[in-house]
Structure 1
Amino acid sequence: MDDERVVLYAEFTARSGEAEEVQRLLKAFTTAVRGEPGNLAFEPYRRVDDPDRFFVFEIYRDRAAFEAHLSADHGRPFNSALEPLIREDASQLSFLTPIPAAAKR
């Protein structure tokens, strides 16, 4: 198992009239995720130009911490409640890899 950090962002779009409920659910979920031992960052945002569009930046200590996040007790109820409120079938995940810093001169 890889011990490098897992960095990703999740995006989803609230259905018309559902953005405030999505935000309410996301606030509670944020508190739960930030309490996970392997979570290093969980930062939810709404787009300024499209407030129905949500963006969540996430960092986990390693692959094991991310897997623990996926199987956490609070994940399934959140996703079940979110699913009918968003346009997509589920959160759209994009995994990131860091660009190494240039050497100092």
Structure 2
Amino acid sequence: MASGYALVVRFTLRDTSAARQFDDLVAQTIEGIRTEAGTLVYTVHTPVDEPLVRVFYELYADREAFQAHEDQAHTQHFLEAREAHLSSVEVTFLNELDGLSKRPETEQS
């Protein structure tokens, strides 16, 4: 199984109003992302004690799947609209060194 293509994005939001609007934008965008075949994981977290920070973890089947995600209309809309809510953004692309990936058990015949 290929290790995929992963990144972590840390968004710092301007204020609580911007955070609410950003969360609404994320919810709308995720609806489109659910249809992307090559997007394996796309999850959003709020770090403990950092209410104005959102951390995204994204895992794609490969670099091409990531590029297909970036080219989607819902992603392009998100990339443009998010700017109104942010004070900073940090993107970290990840290389897998070692790990464990569990797959759901399949029915046995």
Query: TM-score band, normalised by the shorter chain?
Result: 0.7 to 0.9
**SS of corresponding position for 2:87:** coil
TM-score by length of 1: 0.83
Following superposition, the deviation at residue 4 of structure 1 comes to 5.1
In the alignment, is the contact (CA less than 8 A) between 1:6 and 1:62 conserved in 2?
A: yes
Structure 1 residues 63-74: aligned runs within 5 Å:
63-74=63-74
Q: Where does residue 40 of structure 1 map in the other structure?
A: 40
Q: Where does residue 83 of structure 2 map in the other structure?
A: 83
**SS of corresponding position for 1:22:** helix
Question: What code does the residue aligned with 1:31 have?
Answer: E
User: What do the CA deviations read for 1:18-76 (whole angstroms, capped 9, x no partner)?
Assistant: 11111111111122222211100000111221111000100000111011111111112
In the alignment, is the contact (CA less than 8 A) between 1:5 and 1:61 conserved in 2?
A: yes
In the alignment, is the contact (CA less than 8 A) between 1:10 and 1:57 conserved in 2?
A: yes
Following superposition, the deviation at residue 100 of structure 1 comes to 2.6
Unaligned runs of 5+ in 1: none
Query: What's the Cα RMSD here?
Result: 1.5
Question: What code does the residue aligned with 2:56 have?
Answer: V
User: What do the CA deviations read for 1:67-100 (whole angstroms, capped 9, x no partner)?
Assistant: 1111111112112111011002xx4211111123
Q: Where does residue 20 of structure 1 map in the other structure?
A: 20
Q: Where does residue 95 of structure 1 map in the other structure?
A: 93
In 1, Cα distance between equivalents of 2:67 and 2:18: 29
Unaligned runs of 5+ in 2: 100-109
- Determine what percentage of the aligned residue pairs are the same residue: 28
Equivalenced residue count is 97
Q: Where does residue 53 of structure 1 map in the other structure?
A: 53
**SS of corresponding position for 2:79:** helix
In 2, Cα distance between equivalents of 1:34 and 1:55: 18
TM-score by length of 2: 0.81
Q: Where does residue 6 of structure 1 map in the other structure?
A: 5
